[in-house]
Amino acid sequence: MVSDTIGHKKPEPEIFHAAAATVGLPLPGAWVIGDAPHADIAGAEALGLRSVWVTEGRPWPQNSFQPTHIAKDVASAINHAARNQG
């Protein structure tokens, strides 16, 4: 999905709603997996969604918000979200 097509960029809530609508799934209960603390994780937190931050070897840089889970890579992040649905 391209932000320009939607007219909004992360962390704006509209882009998360558009992503859910695109795949035909409800946003409540979704996981946000990302590597950008502000855009991905803060956006998820603002919507009350669970999140997995992909570290790519970096330490977590924020004190004002936290991801639900931290993973070393995308595969681990997807595994965690899949095991913790519901």
| Residues 21-43 pLDDT 10s | 999 999 999 999 999 999 999 99
Phi, psi (deg, nearest 5) at residue 61: -95, 0
Identity of residue 42:
A
SS (H, E, C) the chain: CCHHHHCCCCCCHHHHHHHHHHHCCCCCCCEEEECCHHHHHHHHHHCCCEEEEECCCCCCCCCCCCCCEEECCHHHHHHHHHHCCC
Q: pLDDT tens-digit profile of 34-77?
A: 999 999 999 999 999 999 999 999 999 989 999 999 999 999 99
Ranges of each domain in the chain:
3-83
Q: What is the pTM of this model?
A: 0.90
Q: In the CATH hierarchy, which fold is given to the domain comprising 3-83?
A: Rossmann fold (3.40.50)
